[in-house]
A and B are shown apart, each in its own frame.
Chain A
Amino acid sequence: MTSRPRLTRPLIYAVLILFCLFYLMPFYVMVITSLKPYQDLNVTRMWELPRTISLDGLVEAWHRVAPNFRNSLEITIPATLLSSLWGSINGYIFAKWRFKGSDTIFVLFLLGMFLPYQGILIPLVRTLQAFGLYGKQLGLILTHSIFGIPITALLFRGYYAGIPNELLDAGKIDGCGFFRLYRHILLPISLPAFAVVLLWQFTPIWNDFLIGLVVLSNPSRAPVNVAVQNIAGSWSVEWNVQMSAALIAALPTVVLYLSMGRLFMRGLLAGAVKG
């Protein structure tokens, strides 16, 4: 699609740059507002750079959300690791050990992945209460891991389906069974798939609000996004603190995304479907 009239190219750049400015605008406002001292928070100067840079807002926000930030790490990291490992074994089965009905089971897994959490929230709470896991981080870790079963299986199944069967057949001739084929042949070459799953599991679990709000309603135990909403919900908190808290909550996923963004195009479909 080359050879276009002279005028259209500047137009293409102009439109793209305008859109980029639009997508950067909230980040710009968050960053400059978080760096302004309290006295500098004038609504008429909202778009101007801070006159003096102050870390008061960030310090105050960190003071407020640090425990929740740690909660989120303690929830997201185990849940991501657990569901990735689990997903890799399930994907291995769906891709390489098909049995009668396995494709039907897979489609039922996928269907479940698309449905909104509101349809299962009440039984979830009752069940967690019954097992003494309600209000506990472990409850949230297990919840995220269980609801991660379909998506991680989907991602790993796709990756393993691309690995030639001949590779496994060679292993079978050497006498490898189910577990050794996985452990010695597939697992060592699974790193790219683990990276994709890490990206697509860490992000939604870290960014989760609903499940955290319902299962860990205690403010001191809540994940960071619930804490940010609590801060934003109380109008007494200054904007520089609100913006700082939002930035802190956004930091891990933004860093992960910026460092692993090229993996984004893989597993693209998976990202948007989680309840």
Chain B
Amino acid sequence: MGADQLTRSGQRAAPRHTHWREQFAWFRGDTRTAFLVLLPSIILVAIFIYGFIAWTGYISLVDWKTAVENYDWVGLKNWKALFGMERFQWNMRNLAIYAAGFMSQCICFGFLLAVLLNQNVRGENVMRSIILLPFAVSAIVTGVAWRWLMQPTTGVNLLLQKVGLANIDFAWASDITWGALSITIASAWQFTGYIMALYLAGLRGISDDVVEAARVDGAGTWQLYRYIVIPLLMPVTFSAVVLTGMGCIRVFDMVTVLKGPAFSTDMLAFHMYQSTFGLYRTSLGATIGFLMLLLSLLLVVPYLRGTRFEEGA
């Protein structure tokens, strides 16, 4: 339509020229004010997030391995070195174990608790608050409490012994084989309430008509959940998988407090921190950090494509 518009002088404008005007027609008055007010945020996000990501990627390709900045190009040397490290293999092993433990606990218990709380139970508000309370405390506080609970000579072991369930001296987070899995008990303790809240919001969003219709068709409780509720809650489950998955990739605080022997609980974030700020192997740290970004992108990009934020989350 641009080509048909007349310019102020009454002549037909060249299409290209009008096109340019059309393109920037919004840029005046209050809309321009709005843009200018937003501009500092755009610039800061562009620099502090995207610029820094690019910078990190660049550092992963140079030879910066002392406290002194060094930008000598070495290509993929740091990446090859990282993939060849025994510590990196521990990181990936622990990530897999941690993810399996953390995600399954959060999602299974979160779903179960949401379903149970949704049965018109008395004291629902109190119980919901209790289950959510751990989410208010930091990972450090959680870790300190659980470190005491996971002492071999006392804590959970003592409790199990007292109630007559088991007589063990398991070292939990300090166990060389099962340490990474044990830590997920503490992390899931903190985060399950949040997943429960997500599922509860999802359950409250399922209309009674759907449930009634299924009941009329003779669906039992099991069938109702298997064929109606769980499929309807798939978007929530998707969110839960992405959010808990990202929690696994970046877990740092919890493994700092509940650190086990050698690399038994070593995670990417901890490796990154020690390499960069302990050993000044900055390029190696940047490589790990960038790898963590890439792993997160695998989860986030499909998530953002599938989520509408119109409802204000």
Check if B216 is an interface residue, CB within 8 A of chain A: no
Chain A neighbourhood of B129, CB < 8 A = 258, 261
Decide: A114 and B246 in contact? CB cutoff 8 A.
yes
Decide: A153 and B290 in contact? CB cutoff 8 A.
no
Check if A63 is an interface residue, CB within 8 A of chain B: no
Check if B74 is an interface residue, CB within 8 A of chain A: no
Decide: B296 and A114 in contact? CB cutoff 8 A.
yes
Chain B neighbourhood of A25, CB < 8 A = 149
Check if B83 is an interface residue, CB within 8 A of chain A: no
Decide: B139 and A269 in contact? CB cutoff 8 A.
no
User: Which among A30, A97, A239 has the highest number of chain B CB atoms within 10 Å?
Assistant: A97
Decide: B197 and A265 in contact? CB cutoff 8 A.
yes
Within 8 A of A (CB), among B117-170: 117-121, 127, 129-149, 151, 153-155, 158-159, 162
Chain B neighbourhood of A111, CB < 8 A = 300-301, 304
Decide: B304 and A1 in contact? CB cutoff 8 A.
no
Number of A-B contacts (CB under 8 A): 301
CA A13 to CA B187, docked complex, whole Å: 25
Check if B257 is an interface residue, CB within 8 A of chain A: yes
Decide: B277 and A250 in contact? CB cutoff 8 A.
no
Check if A161 is an interface residue, CB within 8 A of chain B: yes
Known: A46-B154, A115-B293, A149-B45. A243 touches B144 (CB 8 A): yes
Query: Nearest Cβ in chain A — how far from B282, in angstroms?
Result: 6
Decide: A4 and B127 in contact? CB cutoff 8 A.
no
Decide: A249 and B138 in contact? CB cutoff 8 A.
yes
Check if A2 is an interface residue, CB within 8 A of chain B: yes
Check if B253 is an interface residue, CB within 8 A of chain A: yes
Check if A187 is an interface residue, CB within 8 A of chain B: no
CA A250 to CA B41, docked complex, whole Å: 32
Chain B neighbourhood of A225, CB < 8 A = 138, 140-141, 253
CA A194 to CA B215, docked complex, whole Å: 42
Mask, A236-275, CB within 8 Å of B = 1, is 0001001101110110011011100100111111111101
CA A157 to CA B198, docked complex, whole Å: 20
Chain A neighbourhood of B37, CB < 8 A = 89, 93, 178
CA A207 to CA B121, docked complex, whole Å: 32
Query: Nearest Cβ in chain B — how far from A121, in angstroms?
Result: 6
Query: Nearest Cβ in chain B — how far from A186, in angstroms?
Result: 13
Check if B218 is an interface residue, CB within 8 A of chain A: no
Check if A15 is an interface residue, CB within 8 A of chain B: yes
Within 8 A of A (CB), among B271-290: 272-273, 276-277, 282, 285-286, 288-290
Known: A105-B42, A116-B250, A124-B52. A29 touches B145 (CB 8 A): yes
Check if A44 is an interface residue, CB within 8 A of chain B: yes
Partner among B69, B113, B155 whose Cβ is within 8 Å of the Cβ of A19: B113
CA A243 to CA B141, docked complex, whole Å: 9
Check if A22 is an interface residue, CB within 8 A of chain B: yes
Chain A neighbourhood of B134, CB < 8 A = 23, 26
Chain B neighbourhood of A155, CB < 8 A = 312-313
User: Which among A16, A150, A247 has the highest number of chain B CB atoms within 10 Å?
Assistant: A16
Decide: B34 and A261 in contact? CB cutoff 8 A.
no
Chain A neighbourhood of B200, CB < 8 A = 265
CA A105 to CA B139, docked complex, whole Å: 32
Check if B11 is an interface residue, CB within 8 A of chain A: no
Decide: A90 and B116 in contact? CB cutoff 8 A.
no
Check if B73 is an interface residue, CB within 8 A of chain A: no
CB-based nearest A residue for B56? A119
Check if B171 is an interface residue, CB within 8 A of chain A: no
Chain B neighbourhood of A257, CB < 8 A = 132-133, 135-136
Within 8 A of B (CB), among A174-193: 177-179
Decide: B33 and A177 in contact? CB cutoff 8 A.
yes
Q: 10 tightest A-B contacts by CB?
A: A158-B312, A207-B138, A97-B34, A257-B136, A112-B49, A269-B313, A119-B293, A43-B154, A120-B52, A116-B250
Q: Could you list 10 A-B pairs, sorted by A, with CB under 8 Å?
A: A93-B35, A110-B309, A116-B246, A118-B288, A120-B53, A120-B289, A157-B312, A209-B252, A267-B312, A272-B194
Given contacts A26-B149, A232-B143, A258-B129, 17 further A-B contacts (CB under 8 A): A4-B119, A4-B221, A16-B117, A30-B145, A86-B41, A97-B30, A97-B31, A114-B300, A118-B269, A121-B276, A121-B289, A157-B309, A158-B312, A210-B253, A229-B144, A232-B257, A265-B201
Chain B residues in contact with chain A, CB under 8 A? 23, 26-27, 30-31, 33-35, 37-38, 41-42, 44-45, 48-53, 55-56, 59, 69, 109, 112-113, 116-121, 127, 129-149, 151, 153-155, 158-159, 162, 189, 191, 193-194, 197-198, 200-201, 211, 221, 224, 239, 243, 246-247, 249-250, 252-253, 256-257, 268-269, 272-273, 276-277, 282, 285-286, 288-290, 292-293, 296-297, 300-301, 303-304, 309-313
